[in-house]
């Protein structure tokens, strides 16, 4: 039985599976894992690689499962590159890779490292059709996965959870939850028609807009506050500047363009935080 819906053979199958790699949404969890490792005093490249692969497997699981649900279960999408069997095999393989990584972390680190990693797969697998129908879980699922990726990336290196990575994880959870509210607003009309309760559907587009930017402001102020009291490196406060500039522009754009701007703004935000944590120019 074929695994790809368009064409046959190894090339068509590989293209179908590679189509489930979405760099825009995959890079932040992987970068968060490496950022967590950088925050530790020393980086073991083997442990860092294992954790990054685990995060990749978790996000890949989310993309395959979402595509399967949206096309084969809900009928939302017009097309999908994988057959039903192809989706099931993709989920099995990504889960197997994730399980191997968990086993290695259990042996090389400890059970707590695994406990910080396993929830990322649970969020990924259950995002559709369970978690994405509730305003809170639909909004916080992806940001929580990134927060856990950062914490896990730190823990596998340091063997502890400290205030600095915990603070950064909290900031990303709040900031990206705001971005996710804007992202979900793109599908307001359709989500409303199928009773899919995103924040925009639950409170209306205008209030959702206010909620989203309110969350972003709280996150940016938290970075400045943590830097002021010495939890974050002082230069971390600079990360708020480029994101705030992007957010001001995005606030006047529609949901689709705003999402594109804010996602890329979050890359700048992360880049400045990494530079601040790595170089500590004001320390």
pLDDT tens sequence across 134-155: 899 989 999 999 999 999 999 9
pLDDT at 88 over 90: yes
According to DSSP, the residues that pair with 82 across neighbouring strands are 4
**What contacts 255, CB < 8 A, 6 or more positions away?**
182, 183, 185, 186, 188
Split into its structural domains, the chain has a count of 2
Quote the CA–CA distance of 147 and 263 in Å, as a whole number: 16
pLDDT tens sequence across 30-85: 999 999 999 998 899 999 999 999 999 999 999 999 999 989 988 888 889 999 99
Quote the CA–CA distance of 223 and 235 in Å, as a whole number: 10
Based on the fold, state whether residues 115 and 214 are members of the same structural domain.
no
pLDDT reported for residue 1: 65
Domain end point (choices 159, 175, 192): 159
Based on the fold, state whether residues 77 and 32 are members of the same structural domain.
yes
Q: Residue 85 maps to which CATH number?
A: 1.10.357.140
Based on the fold, state whether residues 20 and 106 are members of the same structural domain.
yes
pLDDT reported for residue 77: 80
What does pLDDT average to over the chain? 92
Q: Which two tokens stand for residue 80?
A: 């999908």
pLDDT at 256 over 70: yes
Domain end point (choices 118, 142, 159): 159
Q: What is the CA radius of gyration of the chain?
A: 19
Based on the fold, state whether residues 278 and 191 are members of the same structural domain.
yes
Based on the fold, state whether residues 18 and 155 are members of the same structural domain.
yes
Based on the fold, state whether residues 84 and 206 are members of the same structural domain.
no
pLDDT tens sequence across 7-28: 788 999 999 999 999 988 898 8
pLDDT reported for residue 281: 62
Based on the fold, state whether residues 50 and 68 are members of the same structural domain.
yes
Domain of residue 136 covers 14-159
pLDDT reported for residue 65: 96
pLDDT reported for residue 8: 81
Domain end point (choices 159, 180, 203): 159
Based on the fold, state whether residues 132 and 178 are members of the same structural domain.
no
pLDDT reported for residue 76: 80
2 located within any domain: no
**What contacts 8, CB < 8 A, 6 or more positions away?**
2
């Amino acid at each position: 039985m074929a695994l790809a819906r368009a064409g046959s053979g190894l090339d068509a199958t590989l293209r179908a599976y590679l189509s489930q790699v979405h760099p825009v949404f995959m890079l932040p969890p992987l970068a968060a894992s490496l950022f967590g490792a950088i925050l530790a005093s020393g980086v073991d490249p083997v442990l860092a690689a294992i954790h990054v692969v685990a995060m990749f497997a978790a996000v890949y699981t989310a993309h395959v499962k979402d595509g399967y649900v949206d096309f084969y279960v809900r009928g939302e999408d017009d097309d999908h590159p994988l057959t039903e069997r192809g989706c099931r095999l993709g989920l099995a393989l990504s889960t197997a890779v994730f399980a191997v990584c968990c086993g290695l972390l259990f042996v090389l680190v400890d059970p707590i490292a695994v406990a910080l990693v396993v929830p990322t797969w649970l969020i990924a697998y259950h995002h559709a059709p369970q978690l994405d129908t509730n305003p809170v879980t639909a909004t916080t699922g992806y940001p929580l996965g990134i927060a856990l990726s950062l914490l896990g990336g730190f823990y596998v290196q340091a063997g502890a959870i400290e205030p600095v990575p915990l603070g950064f994880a909290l900031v990303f959870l709040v900031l990206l939850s705001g971005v996710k509210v804007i992202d979900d607003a793109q599908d307001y009309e359709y989500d409303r028609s199928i009773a899919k309760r995103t924040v925009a559907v639950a409170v209306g587009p205008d209030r959702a807009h206010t909620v989203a930017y309110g969350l972003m402001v709280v996150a940016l102020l938290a970075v400045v506050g943590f830097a002021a009291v010495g939890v974050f490196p002082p230069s971390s406060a600079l990360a708020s500047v480029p994101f705030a500039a992007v957010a001001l522009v995005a606030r006047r754009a529609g949901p689709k363009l705003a999402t594109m701007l804010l996602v890329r703004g979050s890359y700048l935000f992360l880049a400045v935080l990494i530079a601040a944590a790595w170089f500590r120019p004001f320390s």
